[in-house]
Structure formats: C-alpha cells, structure tokens
Amino acid sequence: MDKINELLESDLTIINMGLESFAESMKSQGVEVQHVGWAPPAGGNPEIISTLHRLNNPVIKELIDAANQKAAELIINAQPVLVDIRQAAEVIPNMKKNLILHAGPPVEWDRMCGPVRGAVMGALIYEGLAKNLQEAEKIAASNEIEFDPCHHHQTVGPMAGVVSSSMYVYVVKNETSSNTAFCTLNEGLGKVLRFGAYGDEVLARLKWMEKVLAPALQKGVRHSGGINVKDLTARALMMGDECHNRNVAATSLFIRTLVPHLIATDLDKKTIKETVEFLSGNDHSFLNLSMAACKASTDPIVGLKKDLEKSGSRLRLVSLEVYISPVSVKKTPAETWETVRFLR
C-alpha cells in the first residue's frame, strides 16, 4: 500500500495505450503522457482473428509469404508494351456480337447498377442490336444478350467497363510473361458511355472513334513496332501523374511518342490532325492504356493460386492423417498443421 501511495505521489510519466481520450485528459491536467496508437487486431472481430491465426501457422505463413514475393516480382518485372489496336471481336477471347463485357464480378441485368445499365443500353444501340433505348432495355433483359466480366476475357475497362464486339481495344503485351491484355479507348469526361451516358453525342463519338481514331492509331502503333507503356508510366510519375485520374503528362508523352509514326504512315493530314486533337483534348487519353498495362502486368499472378491450392491440398492430406492417428485425436485438422512442417 505504501508503495502504491509512493508511486502516486511521485512525478509520473504516463504511457497510454489505445483510447487517445485518456491521454488527452491527462495532458490537460499537465501530466506528461506518451500516447501509443494501438487497436486490437482485426478491430477485435473474433472470427477474423482466428482466421488470421490459422494463416499465421509457420508452415502456411511461409507458403503465403513466398507466393506473395513471387507475385510482387511478377508485377514489378512485367514489361507491358502496346503492340496493336484491334476490334474486340478480332482479339478478345470468346468475344461475340451478342456478348457484352462489363466491370466487376458476374452480375445479371436485374442487379446491375444504373451506370452499367446505361452503358449496356448505349452499347446495344451502338452495335445496331437495338434501335432505341426501350428496345435496348428489352433485349438486355432477354436471353438474347449475354453478359460476362471483362476479367474473364483478359480485358479491363474503366468505370462501367462495357466492351462490345465492334469497339477497338488497345492490345498490350506483357513481354516478361508473354500474356496479353485488352482495354477500350478513352472517350473523355462527362457524358461518356463508361459513366452510363447513352445520348446521341455519346454514340456519335463512339462511332467516330471506331471509324477514324482507332484505325489511325492502329497504323501509328504498328509503324512504331510497339510502345513501352511501363517507360511512359515511370516518366509520367516523375511529372506529377498517378496514371489513373491524372494523366496529363502520360497523355503528352504518349502523343509525343506516337506523332512521328502517325506522320510516317499514309494517313491524310486531316485524320492526323483530328486524331492528335482528340488525344490532346482529353487528359484521360492515357488512362485506358494504363489500365491495359496494369491488367497485363498482374494477370500472370493468377497462376500462383494454383500452386497454393496444390500445396494446400497436400497439407490437408497430411494433416488428415495426423488427425486420425491416436496421438492427436483431439485435434482438428486445422490445428495439426504445426506438426507437418517437415513434410513439405
């Protein structure tokens, strides 16, 4: 008791953990206090804590950490190169006239949000599959039209991510892993299909992109022999872009790289002028190229999941054997993993 009194009467320096308000009230009373920001793991959610605990088993942790390192290396070492610009139907695997690709996971028409519905309706009119909005809505809800996530087709798209068969796409090859990814061309800001707009000006722009812009870019890109998107991105980061919502520098670098090739083709002056004006007039021109490059850079890591699945099933098999053996009969398979470290 004396000791406690002694302690409380002495000048204290307090360490406070967790709730900052305790530290603040002591501070307001002139007590020297050091606050330590601390919160229970997973916000205290017991189910998540126990899942994390399972994954923290040394055998499993080592597998995951190694896979993570491999995944990071694949992403970092990727070399995304713009090699071509083609119509979706020509290059996207399993693309067809009545298939509409969209952003996000699988979703049927009834559950699509407004902007995705708008983009789908616009795409159906653009493709000539519907005459007007009413008809577009009707056939979108019927079995005539199929939907599938872009990600099932080596493809990405910004926002609604709607891709239909006539749209042109950037073809970006990851030279490190030899895989390819696709992304549509950027339309600009405001009233645009990717944000769910489907008015006449939106559809007219898409048609112009299909008839004029994309074929011109295709000639330029083919003449260039490939444009390294990683280089452009790295340089744009030095110039104040993040290459998602700010692409001013990257778009400029892309144009600077492309123009000599556009001029070297048989394109007429008017087409070159319109093409360069369109790209320059839209700071987001580079965005879709950036997305295709990211997709091409990250897709190879999907293969690592298969490795983990194999290792995982091997672990499960072994732990099951331990489970049925008399010495560990009380343990569940999940709790026996520490015992299989040497069996990997």
**Which stretches of the chain bind another protein, using CB under 8 A?**
39, 41-43, 45, 47-48, 51-52, 54-55, 60, 63-64, 68-69, 71-73, 75-76, 113-115, 117-119, 121, 133, 158-160, 189-192, 195-199, 202, 230, 233-234, 237-238, 240-242, 244-246, 305, 308-309, 312, 315-316, 337
Q: Least distance from C-beta 24 to another protein, angstroms?
A: 22
What tokens appear for 79 in the block?
A: 């070399």
Cβ distance to another protein smaller for residue 225 or 240 = 240
Nearer to another protein, 151 or 230 (CB): 230
CB of 197 to another protein, least distance (A): 3
Lookup: tokens for 251: 């778009």
> C-beta of 117: minimal distance to another protein in Å?
5
Ramachandran area for residue 153 (φ above 0: left; ψ -120 to 50: alpha; else beta): alpha
Place of tokens 């030279």: 175
Q: Are 157 and 101 in contact (CB under 8 A)?
A: yes
Phi, psi of 181 (to 5 degrees): -135, 155
Task: Give CA–CA dist 44/49, Å, rounded.
Answer: 7
Name the residue among 87, 89, 97 with its Cα closest to residue 218.
87
Min separation Cβ 236 and another protein, Å: 8
Taking the least distance from each CB to another protein, the nearer of 80 and 220 is 80
Give me Rg for the CA atoms of the chain.
Answer: 28
Distance (Å, rounded) from C-alpha 297 to C-alpha 74? Answer: 7
Residue with tokens 């699945």: 309
Q: Hey, CA dihedral for 102, 103, 105, 110, is it positive or negative? A: negative
In the bound state with another protein, the residue whose beta carbon lies nearer, of 238 and 329, is: 238
288: phi then psi, degrees, rounded to nearest 5: -70, -30
CB closer to another protein, 183 vs 217 = 183
What phi and psi, each to the nearest 5 degrees, are found at residue 94? 60, 25
**Smallest distance, another protein to C-beta of residue 188, A:** 10
Q: Provide, rounded to whole angstroms, the least separation between the CB of residue 341 and another protein.
A: 13
Q: Report d(CA 320, CA 111) in Å as an integer.
A: 41
CB of 251 to another protein, least distance (A): 13
How far apart CA 65 and CA 88 sit, in angstroms, is 37
Closer of 12 and 239 to another protein (Cβ): 239
φ, ψ for residue 82, nearest 5 deg: -75, 115
Shortest CB 199 distance to another protein, Å: 7
The nearer residue to another protein, 41 or 93, going by C-beta atoms, is 41
> Which residue lies nearer to another protein by CB, 122 or 220?
122
CB closer to another protein, 214 vs 294:
294
**Least distance from C-beta 98 to another protein, angstroms?**
20
Q: How far from 80 is each of 159, 193, 217, 286, 294, CA to CA, in Å?
A: 22, 26, 18, 14, 8
Residue 118 near residue 124, CB atoms below 8 Å: no
- Residue 12's φ and ψ, nearest 5 degrees, are -105, 145
